[in-house]
Amino acid sequence: MATLREKNVLVTGGGRGIGRAIALAFASEGCRVAITGRTQASLDAVAKEIRAKGAKALPLCCDVTRKDEVDALNREIAGEFGGIQILVNNAGMAPAAAFLEMEDRLWNQVLKVNLTGAYHCCKVFLPAMIAAKWGRIINIASTVAKVAYPYIAAYTASKHGLLGLTRALAIEMARTGVTVNAICPGYVETELTLGNAARMAEKTGKEVEEVLKLFKSATPQNRLIAPEEVADLAVMLASESTGGITGQAINVDGGAVMV
């Protein structure tokens, strides 16, 4: 696989969980890595880990739901690294609520973060990729982009939308040298998953460990996915040798969804 050394990467939602693992994986490849999120302390901690690998890091707070902040982010990264060549849209939220009890505010916020945020980043960072005749966009979706579960209607709708955006953009970019793909993780061992398990336990009267066992039993492999497994696939999709892979939605879910 051709080297990614000195490629410029942006990982949104890079301060924890899957985003952190992806940022560190690209750092291990010798990339310059910009990470965004809403908590500077978390970003700074990940940036320290990136630099410990000998890679350059740029931790920047940014609300991807605001186009003006993404524009400012682009200018700041360009000043430090030059144009972004690899964009990983990972910022997301996954609150649970019964549909009839869900507030409109929650619905709108989930779609803004999970779908509109990715739209903003693609819109802002794509022109430089097209001009360079090379680029990689990797959208972190979910298995719920292909199936559905109760109590997460907003999350499910947003990830279905992200998968649609991935495919439509892949077709438009097909002759530009830019590939666009989605990764669809199942239950990943992150703070987000553990938090969801705790909330479900509270609502159902179960212990958190019982809920986690239910999550694991939903997969043939009977386990949670490690964030690093998602990160390794992101690095592969960004490589020079995978230029023929575009418009795809690849599951990393222990065999839970075979679609």
Catalytic residue among 119, 151, 155, 187: 155
Burial 223-237 (b: 16+ CB within 10 A, else e): ebbebebbbebbbbb
Residue 183 and residue 141 in contact, taking contact as beta carbons nearer than 8 Å: yes
Residue 73 and residue 128 in contact, taking contact as beta carbons nearer than 8 Å: no
Q: Is 155 a catalytic residue?
A: yes
Collect all residues with Cβ–Cβ distance below 8 Å to 156 and sequence separation of at least 6.
144, 148, 149
- Which stretches of 4-90 are assigned E, i.e. beta strand? 8-11, 32-37, 57-61, 86-89
Backbone φ/ψ region at 88: left (φ over 0), alpha (ψ -120 to 50), beta? beta
Q: Hey, which residues are catalytic here?
A: 155
